[in-house]
A and B are shown apart, each in its own frame.
Chain A
Amino acid sequence: MNGSKFPIHDALGRKTGLIDRHILIVSGLSLLLYFILPFRTLPTEILVFALGAVSFNILLGYTGLLSFGQGAFFGSGAYTAGLLLIHFHWHPLLILLLSAFLAASIAAVIGFLSIRQVGIYFVMLTLAFNQLVYFIVYQWKSLTGGDDGLLNIARPDLSVLPGLAVPLQTNFQFFIFVWAIFIVVLVVIRRITDSPFGRILVAIRENPDRGRAVGYNIFHYKLLAFIISGFFTGLAGGLYTLFLKMVPITAVDIITSSDFVIMSLVGGTRSLYGPILGAAIIKIASEFLSQIWSRWMIVLGLIFVSFVLFMRGGLWGLLLNLHKKLFAPKMEGEGRL
């Protein structure tokens, strides 16, 4: 264990494993989503967006970069998956990987050009790149279907051996598939963020000058964060295509980008799992509210406002506080999640 390049320690310096109690809780609860909610397609959508939001939060929560252009990565992943599924009939896992790689490449380019900017100028530049990708997708109709997007995409089954395939056709089957990938990705991201690399990102966020003074190449770390975020966001995009069996152009627009931002803010950016909660809350609330009142967005807006006024740490912070209060004397110690 000592030879591991990215050992996982909690804040007190003790080694924890790949799977810890929080991952277990998140796994269990996210699995239960399918059984608790009276919806068959919403749980999968929640997981896809949760993945996108968690990936985004690598940039905001950990590195302090408010990227308003994640739609570019999500959409690139989605379109890559869509085109590969239409023109080739490769293994879905291979397709997902390729989608993630393409998105990561685009993230590398966008990150490279944007990182040197600060503040609002950085945000607007990421937005500008998002608009560029959207524009290209919109205009290149022969490839992307333009405004109509790509339709009638078949969802393949998951072949494990020649002749043996795990079916992915029903809602439940596909949900389990997404859930499994979701958990694996979560474990990987946690490994990255709980490693020295992750801590350096946080240090850069808190005090970039000091980071520079100690000798870190801030630019490289930020760029790596972009690439990692882009990779997993693209992966989420690929899952989205498999889920919808189509690629809508909204996958690449700035509203999707802002969705990830809002979900992370609502759920809490200071933890890995916060954005998952944010995604779940927003998706579930939207679904229920829209069935009750046509002006349901007013309630959603009020929820956001009250979150800021009363729950500054996001929902995850609130839950942590609750947990602390309930189990205060017997808590092992607060690790940075």
Chain B
Amino acid sequence: MKPGGSFLLALLSIVLVISFFAGPSAAQEKVTMAGMATFGGAYVGVDEINRAKDFFLNEMGGKVFNKPIEFIIIDDEGKPAVGARKVRELAESKGARFFDGPASSAVGMAVSQVAKETKSILIGSFGADDFTGSQCHRYAFRWGLSAYGAIQQTIIPLIKKFPAAKRWYTITPDYIFGHSLLNNAKEVFNKYGIEHVGNDMHPIGQTEYSSFFNKAMAAKADVVVFLNFGKDTVNSIKQAGNFGLAKKAKLLAVWTQGTQDLVEIGPEAAEGVYLGCQFWHNVDFPGTRAFVKAWQDKYNVPPSYPEAMHVEQFRMMAMGIEKAKSLNTDAVSKAMEGMKWDGVTGETSIQSFNHETRKNYFLLQGKPKKEMKDPHDMASVVSFGSSLKTQAESACKMQ
């Protein structure tokens, strides 16, 4: 045989032997939970989920339902293809059936499809209405309020607070979630007789908002509403500060990440700006206080919204498993419906028909620097509450 051929045969034999023994490990009695985050790039969020994971494992003693927890965190790279594939990989190679959802709606919707196929519980707080709307399924749960709730809990309180402010201008990211926020906002404007004097659509990752401010000023807007999120909101508010927009109109950012965004915006630009958020560490609910204290004991800083979200979602899965006394996801799903507890944002409960969570959403206002008692005391709470669509209004038809 030619030397190349014998080389090949030897290689093949070695490889076959290795692969014979390299099969998947025998199933152990443990619970595999998984979370996903973006490890790098513009929407990085890995440190938060890692801290939340450590906090959660610590408080659970590493076990749920008396079985050890194996917790895997994957990098979704902010891409639906990557997130979906890795979730499928975890579900099929490691038997993971409990997933904490991603921050991005695009990734979330892709992962939700896989969750449905693999019968895996997925708890997410990304904004896309369809997740618990037209694409709902029995394994999908939402914690954070969706676009509908966020709009109800930020725009309506401001309308009531400033009855003379009738001319509102919106700045929207040209993204499915952005459109969802805009449509919800328009419905509220109609209902309360607000004049929607203009809207600007911008691509995600827009760095220049100056033209929108100028158009808003040209339209003599009383209130400018930012319907974007993440880095875009940070840039918007920062530039609004540069342009002195807050002196001419009230500013509202509907969907922010709380302290994380406020730190990046900076107190100078955030002063007086209204911000909506899923979580705030400085509110007087027993669930919040307990969580913040325990977190602060461990990490010396108060928890941010993503961290609170992850912890609460991990807790929801654990509670579901404990209540169902089973790892079977159909049973857990059933057990989670109607579950009630003292959550990190106050009293929390899960609706049965669409698996949305009744929890508080907060309207904050940025504090002037001199009023901040500590570096994290960046905002005061203006109002809070919960708004969920009723079964009649919802597009969810779950079997």
Residue in B40, B81, B92, B105 whose CB lies within 8 Å of A250: B81
Q: List chain B residues, Cβ under 8 A from A146.
A: 176
Give the docked Cα–Cα distance between A250 and B110 (Å). 12
How near does chain B come to A28, taking the closest CB pair, in angstroms? 6
Give B88-126 as 1s and 0s: 1 = Cβ < 8 Å from A's Cβ atoms.
Answer: 110011000000000001100110010000000000000
How near does chain B come to A133, taking the closest CB pair, in angstroms? 16
A147-B106, A148-B105, A290-B39 given; A245·B113 CB < 8 A = yes
How near does chain B come to A45, taking the closest CB pair, in angstroms? 6
Tell me if B74 is interfacial: C-beta within 8 Å of chain A. yes
Q: Is the CB of A32 within 8 A of B19?
A: yes
Tell me if B159 is interfacial: C-beta within 8 Å of chain A. no
Name which residue of chain A comes closest to B50, CB basis: A294
How near does chain A come to B267, taking the closest CB pair, in angstroms? 29
Tell me if A90 is interfacial: C-beta within 8 Å of chain B. no
Q: Is the CB of B39 within 8 A of A244?
A: no
Stretch at the interface among B4-12, B142-150, B311-319, B383-391: B4-12
Q: Is the CB of B89 within 8 A of A149?
A: no
Q: List chain A residues, Cβ under 8 A from B47.
A: 294
Give A225-245 as 1s and 0s: 1 = Cβ < 8 Å from B's Cβ atoms.
Answer: 000000000000000100011
How near does chain A come to B260, taking the closest CB pair, in angstroms? 17
Name which residue of chain A comes closest to B114, CB basis: A245
Tell me if A88 is interfacial: C-beta within 8 Å of chain B. no
Q: List chain B residues, Cβ under 8 A from A207.
A: none
Tell me if B175 is interfacial: C-beta within 8 Å of chain A. yes
Q: Is the CB of A151 within 8 A of B109?
A: yes
Tell me if A171 is interfacial: C-beta within 8 Å of chain B. yes
Within 8 A of B (CB), among A187-219: none
Q: Is the CB of A327 within 8 A of B7?
A: yes
Tell me if B67 is interfacial: C-beta within 8 Å of chain A. no
Stretch at the interface among A34-42, A103-111, A121-129, A308-316: A34-42
Tell me if B322 is interfacial: C-beta within 8 Å of chain A. no
Residue in A25, A36, A41 whose CB lies within 8 Å of B8: A25
Give the docked Cα–Cα distance between A159 and B252 (Å). 57
Q: List chain A residues, Cβ under 8 A from B79.
A: 248, 250
How near does chain A come to B86, taking the closest CB pair, in angstroms? 8
Q: Is the CB of B175 within 8 A of A147?
A: yes
Tell me if A326 is interfacial: C-beta within 8 Å of chain B. yes
Tell me if B340 is interfacial: C-beta within 8 Å of chain A. no
Q: Is the CB of A171 within 8 A of B92?
A: yes
List of 6 A-B pairs having minimum Cβ-Cβ separation, nearest first: A35-B19, A248-B80, A290-B75, A248-B81, A294-B46, A294-B39
6 contacting pairs across A/B (C-beta < 8 A): A32-B12, A39-B89, A148-B106, A294-B46, A326-B7, A327-B4
Interface residues of A (CB under 8 A from B): 21, 24-25, 28, 32, 35-36, 38-42, 45, 146-149, 151-152, 171, 240, 244-246, 248-251, 290-291, 294-297, 326-327, 330
Interface residues of B (CB under 8 A from A): 2-5, 7-8, 12, 15-16, 18-19, 22, 24, 39-40, 46-47, 50, 72, 74-75, 79-81, 84-86, 88-89, 92-93, 105-106, 109-110, 113, 128, 135, 175-176, 204
